[in-house]
A and B are shown apart, each in its own frame.
Chain A
Amino acid sequence: MMHPLAYFAGLACAFTALGCGTVSQSIPAPFPVLVGPIEHIGGAPVAVVVDTTTPTIELTNESGAGLCVSTLVPFFDLTRPSTAKMPETMHGSFAAVAGTAPLKEYVVRTDRIGVGAWEFYIAGCWARSTWWKHEGQLVRVSK
């Protein structure tokens, strides 16, 4: 049987890995992924038209890290596609409107960025999880 002190030792080791699981991402894409209502660009008000013919683009990234005292083996989990795949997802949506309008008039827009972080301590295991989520849509920028 594992001594309770081993459990605390395991937790102490886990706490030293607190930097793991932190999420920090920007999207490596040449086209704009704008946040918010896009009130102004270049100091002038902008009107945008949401393209309802294209599906919502969901960009999510969740990561976790943890340690169980029974194994003392840390685990890391990246359960969702990384940002490196996001441009592909968005290019797919751009492709969906190709031929219907000049693509250069379109940008990806998201209203908000979902963020969160949790700590779990269950049955001798510790884990932490962090995530962020963007739900974007193609919008056409009016001039």
Chain B
Amino acid sequence: MKSSVQSLALLLSLGALSGCAGARSSLSLPASHYPVSLSDGMLGPNRELLAAGEMETVSHFHETRTAWSTFYALVPFTPRLDLSESINAQIAAAHGDAIVRLRTSSRPCALDYFFGLTLLPIWPGCASIEIDGDIVRYRATARTATPR
């Protein structure tokens, strides 16, 4: 009898601790005035591929956003996170020309750790998204390059 009660208690505990929560979204920059690259490569002012020595890193781009979803992260409240304004502002402030090596980092946030409540499909989940990159400026050699 005692072991049955213990088993039931354990099963109830495990059930209460089951669940899933999180969020999904898409980062976009539809109104960016500057080119942004996920790699080391970048095009110059004359739309030529720049060599490493033709650009210099002048600052670091950093932005944090939160994505929200519900129904076990299947229904996003924030399907798009627009970075355009932030990118335009940070590059202008650094007097840069572009961003290279853009990288993203995502992790679940606090609401995802409410055991029991995450069993409910209507429980909202969230994800903390960090975006980093290197703001670069074209060197003079790139600026004065002859257009092809």
Contact = CB atoms under 8 A, between A and B. Distances in A.
Interface string A19-36: 001111111111111111
B86 interface: no
B104 A115 contact: yes
Contact of A42 (B10, B45, B118): B45
Given A32-B41, A122-B18, A25 B7 contact: no
Contact of B32 (A32, A39, A131): A39
A121 B41 contact: no
A130 B105 CA distance: 9
Interface in A104-143: 104, 107, 110-124, 128-132, 134, 141, 143
B27 A117 contact: no
Contact residues on A (Cβ < 8 Å of other chain), bracket: 35 or more
B67 A115 contact: yes
Contacts of A118: 20-22, 73, 108, 112, 125
A36 B43 CA distance: 14
A81 interface: no
B37 interface: yes
A19 B16 CA distance: 25
A46 B6 CA distance: 69
A26 to B, nearest CB: 4
A29 B39 contact: yes
Given A115-B67, A118-B20, A1 B37 contact: no
A99 interface: no
Contacts of A18: 107
Contacts of A37: 30
A41 interface: yes
B42 interface: yes
A22 B130 CA distance: 10
A76 interface: no
B113 interface: yes
Contacts of B129: 115
Given A35-B102, A42-B44, A46-B47, A117 B107 contact: yes
24 contacts: A1-B6, A7-B17, A26-B103, A27-B39, A29-B41, A32-B35, A36-B28, A43-B45, A44-B45, A113-B27, A114-B24, A115-B67, A116-B24, A117-B108, A117-B112, A117-B127, A118-B20, A119-B113, A119-B125, A121-B20, A122-B18, A122-B19, A123-B18, A132-B106
Interface of A: 1-2, 4, 7, 11, 18, 21-44, 46, 104, 107, 110-124, 128-132, 134, 141, 143
